[in-house]
């Protein structure tokens, strides 16, 4: 099964509300990254958190990492209709594997 | 800005055809990757390359091969296309240095009939 599993699979909120997406993984990591994908397009890198960090901010994005629980969350504050997209977590595993492993994604719909 | 260009946005091929998907990046990245994306399964790694003429199998290499003759170009080859290879194919590149966030192309949606 996937290294990263996102929860929920789909999320629908109103503009202005906060959106929280969770990611769980199975093996030790060097870092965890979040990506965004607009419909029919490639993924865009949003933010990276290293294994020795607990929280990171970038604009309206806040990422937390709990390595003891092997989980991460992505919070988008004051969401906008333009935030509608799919969001993926990806892990850089501490196994020497040179490629990221992606989860199945959360589909976020922000209603105007 | 890094640009990763995939040669086709949409492709329709017949079962048994040999299919080439091309990807070019313009940032001198050492690493290049091919993922396929299917609903409910996320992105799955097919092959990746960390240098010219070097390649490593990902999680689902069966039915695929790759070629990296030049640093900027990474090709995915479907030796004999089958209907279960209908999917979105995403190419990505990254620097070998540091934390290596990926830069993606816009994808090729392949339909095999």
Q: What is the largest CA-CA distance in chain B?
A: 42
- The predicted structure's pLDDT at residue A1: 40
Q: Which residues of B touch A (CB under 8 A)?
A: 4, 31, 33, 35, 40-45, 48, 50, 56, 58, 90, 92, 99-107, 109
Please list every residue in chain A whose beta carbon sits closer than 8 Å to the beta carbon of residue B103: 45
Nearest chain A residue to B40 by CA: give it. Answer: A104
More confident residue, A55 or A95: A55
Select from A2, A33, A48 the Cβ nearest to the Cβ of B42.
A2
Report the mean per-residue pLDDT for chain A: 92
User: Taking CB atoms and an 8 Å limit, are B90 and A43 in contact across chains?
Assistant: yes
Count of Cβ atoms closer than 10 Å to residue A104 Cβ: 23
Residue A45 to residue B103, Cβ atoms within 8 A: yes
Contact A4, A91 (CB under 8 A): yes
- Which range has the worst mean pLDDT, A95-99, B1-5, B60-64? A95-99
- The mean-pLDDT minimum among A5-9, A21-25, A53-57, B36-40 falls in A5-9
The reply to whether residue A45 touches residue B102, judged by beta carbons under 8 angstroms, is yes
CB contact under 8 A, A45 and B43: no
Q: What is the structure's pLDDT at B35?
A: 96
Q: Is residue A83 within 8 angstroms of chain B, CB to CB?
A: no
pLDDT attached to residue A99: 86
Selection from A54-68, B26-40, B87-101 with the highest mean pLDDT: A54-68
| A2 pLDDT above the threshold of 80 | no
Whether A96 shows a pLDDT value over 80: the answer reads no
Task: Locate A65 and state its tokens.
Answer: 């990492």
Per-residue confidence at B93, pLDDT binned at 50, 70, 90? very high
B10 forms bridges with which residues in the sheet? Answer: B109
- Average pLDDT over every residue of A74-78: 97
Distance from A48 to chain B by nearest Cα, in Å?
8
Residue-level pLDDT at B2: 66
Residue A23 — φ and ψ, nearest 5°?
A: -140, 130
Tens of pLDDT, residues A24-73: 999 899 999 999 999 989 999 999 999 999 999 999 999 999 999 999 99
Query: CB–CB of B42 and A104 under 8 A?
Result: yes
CB distance B99–A43 less than 8 Å? no
Strand ranges of the sheet holding A5-7, from the earlier edge strand across to the other edge? A5-7, A19-24, A71-76, A61-66, A55-58
CB contact under 8 A, B4 and A42: yes
Is-contact A65 A53, C-beta < 8 A?
A: yes
Give the mean pLDDT of B75-100: 91
Count other C-beta atoms under 10 Å from residue A80's C-beta: 12
């Amino acid at each position: 099964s996937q290294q990263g599993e996102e929860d929920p699979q789909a999320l629908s909120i109103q503009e202005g509300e906060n959106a929280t997406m969770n990611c769980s993984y199975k093996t030790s990591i060097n870092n965890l990254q979040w990506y965004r994908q607009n419909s029919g397009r490639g993924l865009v890198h949003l933010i990276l958190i290293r294994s020795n960090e607990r929280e990171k901010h970038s604009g309206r994005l806040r990422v937390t990492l709990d390595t003891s629980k092997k989980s991460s969350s992505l919070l988008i504050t004051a969401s906008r209709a333009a935030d509608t997209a799919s969001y993926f977590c990806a892990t850089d595993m501490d196994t020497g594997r040179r490629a990221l492993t992606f989860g199945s994604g959360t589909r976020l719909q922000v209603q105007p | 800005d890094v640009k990763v260009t995939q040669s086709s946005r949409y492709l329709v091929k017949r079962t048994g055809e040999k299919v080439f998907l091309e990807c070019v990046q313009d940032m001198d990245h050492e690493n290049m990757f091919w993922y396929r994306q299917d609903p409910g399964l996320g992105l799955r790694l097919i092959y990746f390359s960390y240098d010219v003429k070097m390649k490593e199998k990902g999680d689902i290499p069966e039915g695929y091969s790759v070629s990296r003759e030049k640093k900027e170009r990474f090709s995915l080859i479907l030796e004999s296309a089958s209907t279960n290879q209908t999917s979105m194919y995403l190419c990505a590149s990254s620097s070998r240095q540091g934390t290596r966030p990926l830069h993606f192309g816009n994808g090729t949606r392949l339909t095999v009939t």
